[in-house]
A and B are shown apart, each in its own frame.
Chain A
Amino acid sequence: MTPALTIAVPRGSLFMGTLDLLDRLGVETAEVRSNERKLLFGDAGVVTMRPSDVPTYVEHGAADIGITGKDVLLEQSEREVYELLDLGFGHCRMVVAAREGDDALGESLRRLGRVRVATKYPRIAARHFADTGRQAEIVEVKGSVELAPLTGLVDGIVDLTATGKTLSENHLEVVEEITACTARLIANPVAHKLKATEIDALVERIRSG
Chain B
Amino acid sequence: MTHPIPPGTRDVLPDEMRELRALTDRLRAGFEDAGYGEVWTPSLEYEEVLKTGDDRAAGAGYRLFDEHGEVLAMRSDMTIPIARVVATRYGDSEPPFRFCYFAHAYREVQRGAGQQREFLQGGIELIGMTAPEGEAEVIALCLSALEQAGLRRHRLGVGDGQLYRHLLEAFEVPAERHLGLLEALSRRDLAGLEMRVSELGLGERERDLLVRLPQLRGGPEVLERADGPVADAVENLRVLNALLEERGVADRVIFDLGLVRELGYYTGAVFELYDPAVGFALGGGGRYDDLIGKFGRGLPACGIALDVQRVHMAQAAEERLQ
Contact = CB atoms under 8 A, between A and B. Distances in A.
A193 B279 contact: no
Interface residues of A, number: 26
Interface stretch (A13-21, A39-47, A56-64, A103-111): A56-64
A193 B190 contact: no
B281 A196 contact: no
Nearest to A56: B113
B274 A193 contact: yes
B112 A59 contact: yes
A86 interface: yes
Given A59-B113, A83-B189, A83-B190, A189 B155 contact: no
Contacts of B279: 59-62, 188-191
Contacts of B110: 78
B254 interface: yes
B157 A193 contact: yes
- Chain B interface extent, by class: 20 to 34
A188 B281 CA distance: 10
Interface string B255-282: 0100000000000000010111011110
Given A56-B113, A78-B112, A86 B218 contact: no
Interface of A: 56, 59-62, 76, 78-80, 82-86, 184, 187-194, 196-197, 200
Interface of B: 110-114, 155, 157, 187-192, 215, 217-218, 254, 256, 272, 274-276, 278-281
Given A85-B191, A193-B274, A197-B218, 14 more contacts: A59-B112, A60-B279, A78-B112, A79-B112, A80-B111, A82-B189, A83-B192, A184-B191, A188-B279, A190-B276, A190-B281, A193-B157, A193-B254, A200-B215
